[in-house]
Structure 1
């Protein structure tokens, strides 16, 4: 499980994006964007109603501390590809509630939104950092606390473990982690070299990598995520999308040249055989 955390200024902007996605050029495109987000509010805490009603409630309480520039607490928890199906909606809500307790805003207003618009199902927690008593939940050491929380939840729910960010590990563990990362890179590179050598198109490379257990992201670039949910860009192992396509083109030209050469040799053999007769 991977956790991300941020603070912000606008409850309306944050919740609007989570429900509707990025602003589109037309109403039709916006409806398509909303359908892709598949936003589902799975828990309310000390607030309730439509999105506009919830925003008004959050803003009203945040004014109890008018000096706070960023009252919005926004966290996301992304589950490994094979893990989301293991969790019920209630379990996802329970994980969000546990995170609220861990960060000290469990008595504050917050909503939990589930998304299924990517390969990894994930949830968002949007909370008011300001409580009803006017006190503000601390955001100090947020990244370290989030990493520790994710490791604890992985054990509790038997989820796929993910390596904590290197800066939060002890020195001896950093070395071990670095070695594991290098081994993963080497294995990815070796597998990718094999997949490219056996393929004639980027789609074939993608299919072969997926059969070897990698999730492949293919858009303007290419990235691979292994079974331990460690992600690498192709360029990190020396094979950007442009490099892969260039190598595939070279292979195709060599194959075409070989075919032409084989044809020429076959024709020459036939001609030679005809002359000998």
Structure 2
């Protein structure tokens, strides 16, 4: 689920667009409006907007789009309920609105038209509305178990308009080049060959680089606006990682890791024979000592017997 937010000053224009017969529009919810026809709807909006003439763009228009994978379960009632909860979380309440579903595209989507001047003449705040909208869309996607898109790879490039078309072209180029380049010089040169200019922003009057801006087809994009991974610091870290990986690959090719050779059968034989020889020698020494000790003991006993015989005599 994702939302596209637009503000304007012409209620008739947004009503005509949303209720265009060519889009097979079906109204799924509304409040505070005379819904007899498109003219009465626009008249209702305009009448309430006069309660606060300080707002230059009182028209609120939000398109909520859903994944095609969720289409079987997205009835008009379900989509209307999700849209109403989205409005509540966005602070769009106590005001005129209508919600209509379109069938002119392959993915399910609804359009919300609302008056930014509420029923009491107060302005509905648009402060940080896109940040809040992104967070709320993610929350509702999880709450209702909707399909979670995998990211920019699934966006249909052929349906994009400028500057989004160029932004996604730049995203595809950066994704490839940042993954293979080992330094900024090579990256800048490769991007230039593909029509992308690179400019660095510095901190104050110093030489310290704090950001990068990419220019293509006359459009300028901060790196982090193309994608979070393309901020200056993250690109720099990726280039360093590529460089380290390349060096490791060169070292692996240049040097072979020497593995110790196993002792030969002869050496093993000599080793064991020597060991056994030492053990055998040790055993021989022990046996000789035992024999000598026995001989000494026998000699002592013989002498004792001899003395006893002498005493008897």
CA–CA distance in 2 between the matches of 1:138 and 1:95? 21
Query: In structure 2, the residue corresponding to 1:82 is in which secondary structure?
Result: helix
Corresponding residue for residue 137 of structure 2: 150
Corresponding residue for residue 9 of structure 2: 9
Per the TM alignment, residue 218 of structure 1 is displaced from its structure 2 partner at its CA by 5.7
Q: Cα 1:57–1:220, aligned 2, differ >3 Å: closer, same or farther?
A: closer
1:72-128 Cα deviation digits (max 9, x unpaired): 111111101111221121111111111221122221000001011112110111100
CA–CA distance in 1 between the matches of 2:143 and 2:160? 37
Corresponding residue for residue 46 of structure 1: 32
CA–CA distance in 1 between the matches of 2:160 and 2:63? 25
Corresponding residue for residue 19 of structure 1: 19
Which consecutive residues of structure 2, in runs of 5 or more, have no partner in the other structure?
162-166, 177-313
Q: 1:236 aligns with which of 172, 183, 191?
A: 172
Q: Cα 1:62–1:87, aligned 2, differ >3 Å: closer, same or farther?
A: same
Which consecutive residues of structure 1, in runs of 5 or more, have no partner in the other structure?
21-33, 164-179, 185-213, 222-230, 239-277
Per the TM alignment, residue 7 of structure 1 is displaced from its structure 2 partner at its CA by 1.1
CA–CA distance in 2 between the matches of 1:7 and 1:44? 19
**Structure 1: which 4+ aligned runs deviate by more than 6 Å?**
214-217
Corresponding residue for residue 168 of structure 1: none
Q: Cα 1:215–1:59, aligned 2, differ >3 Å: closer, same or farther?
A: closer
Q: 1:115 aligns with which of 94, 97, 102?
A: 102
Q: Which has the larger radius of gyration?
A: 2
Contact 1:41/1:113 (<8 A) preserved: yes
Q: Cα 1:136–1:90, aligned 2, differ >3 Å: closer, same or farther?
A: same
CA–CA distance in 1 between the matches of 2:96 and 2:50? 13
Q: Cα 1:232–1:118, aligned 2, differ >3 Å: closer, same or farther?
A: farther
Corresponding residue for residue 65 of structure 1: 52
Per the TM alignment, residue 60 of structure 1 is displaced from its structure 2 partner at its CA by 0.3
1:127 equivalent in alignment to 2:114: yes
CA–CA distance in 2 between the matches of 1:135 and 1:68? 10
CA–CA distance in 2 between the matches of 1:215 and 1:141? 24
TM-score by length of 2: 0.49
TM-score by length of 1: 0.55
Contact 2:15/2:41 (<8 A) preserved: no
CA–CA distance in 1 between the matches of 2:30 and 2:82? 13
Contact 2:93/2:118 (<8 A) preserved: no
Pick 1 or 2: higher relative contact order, CA cutoff 8 A, min separation 6: 1
Contact 1:73/1:129 (<8 A) preserved: yes
Alignment of 1:66-215 (within 5 A): 66-162=53-149
Contact 2:26/2:100 (<8 A) preserved: yes
